[in-house]
Chain A
Amino acid sequence: MISPGRWPGNYRSAFIVTVEFDADLRIRALIPDAAERTKSLSVGQYGATRGVTRLLGTLERSHIRATWFIPSENLERQQLHCAAIVRAGHDLGNMGVALEDLSRLDLSEQLHLIDTAQAAFRRGTGRAPIAFRSARGSYAPGLPAALVARGFAWSSSWRGDDLPHFHAGVARSLVELPIHYELDDYGYFVFNLDPPIPAGSARIASTREVLGNWKTEFAAYRDEGLCFVLTLHPELIAAPGRIAMLREFFDYIRSFDDVWVATGGEVASWWTKTAPPNLPGHPVEVFDRVRDGELERHRSTGA
């Protein structure tokens, strides 16, 4: 079932950790009058106060290098933390400036954000990331091609696969490392009492059961030779109790010697060198093929 040579050497499957360092920007983005809500802001600020350091320690303990998507506003406001992230050997990724909703922006506005953030990375770290993730919202048509033109090697915002894949058409050299809600701590753990996040004040998920979900998925990803992309938020996963769950999860992954624990950049580079083009049934190819016709039909019939 697993294609020989899909992964380097004797590796059977791949495992990637991505981190989104939101601090209080998520609260500011979701709650319009957050600026003076000291308690709600502190829910996110915990990610900087305690989360980053604790998560860095856990990654180091398991010898995992991650990609940290850092909004450039945090790059500037959290310089000590960002320096520690770089010093520990992690990759950095571009996620805009302050968790903007891309769906409200056209292509040129999206690119302005991305360029602004790249400039901040160059100033702050001496180099510009080659990875991009949408903090919220959708890529405008043409964004993947524009990312290629700006030197980005990979993107990680779409959800149509459990292996890396290429983007369609002229953006085909851009690798996508697809993400999944069930492999992201956010949907399980985000919580603010008032104003309520989630909107329906959903109960926080069971830490033990989230570990169970992740282990079940990971075992099957490994069995099938797939690419598991975990997404973490220091604001959420680095609470003292939850970080123990993460340690247990990393220990489980490290108990297999045939899992390629790699950075997104390493996997994207490998995929570029070794993988065949997307098949015609890939969701990104279907989307690329039918979008214009469907929009035209929608405009002409209103249905």
Chain B
Amino acid sequence: MHLPDGIVSATVAAGGYVAAGGLTWGTLRIVRRENEDPRRLIPRASLLTAVFFVASLVHFPLPPASVHLTLSGLVGVMLGWLSFPAIVVGLFFQAAMFQHGGLTTLGVNACLMGIPALLSHGLFQLCHVFGRQKKSVNAVLGFLAGFGAVAISALFAALLLIYTIPEHLDAVSEKTAVIALSMAHLPVAVLEGVFTALLVLFLLRVKPELLETRK
């Protein structure tokens, strides 16, 4: 899901930057409006950015490709609207330090991973509807948030790649490869779902205020 440089056209890369810039601005505005002192969220945001940054180094060899953790669902659950700017920062460091994802595709990658994180946040907020303290509700929503973030990212990436295959490539074999790679993300999605659910249950027991994204 980390698209490197040169995979998408300049138009798509520029579009990604515009969309990611707009979303960063919008989410930061919401954070400022919702919180009395948004700076109090910075320590948590910073630590979760570190988690996101390191998670991508954990690779699993799942033929035909190797896939890695993203934990964007967890970031979404614990940071809320701030997850989008956090993912932008995390992706920037991954691209700058390890050439994991490109700097030209930073905007596209931010949208591919940031938007699902925001969706996970929205999904997890449903526990206010179904019961904030109920273990089962937290576990199910935690799983769905972690699973959904990876699944939706993989789906976004697959759609983007299939609709932007350059003319000179063999479209059929590239499409097959894209679909195979997306399928390879399913086990990772399940794994992240389980991990997110376990962490949510743990936090609910020891420090439930960490699951509140407003201060």
Q: Do A and B bind each other?
A: no
- Which of A's residues lie within 8 Å of B, judged by CB? none
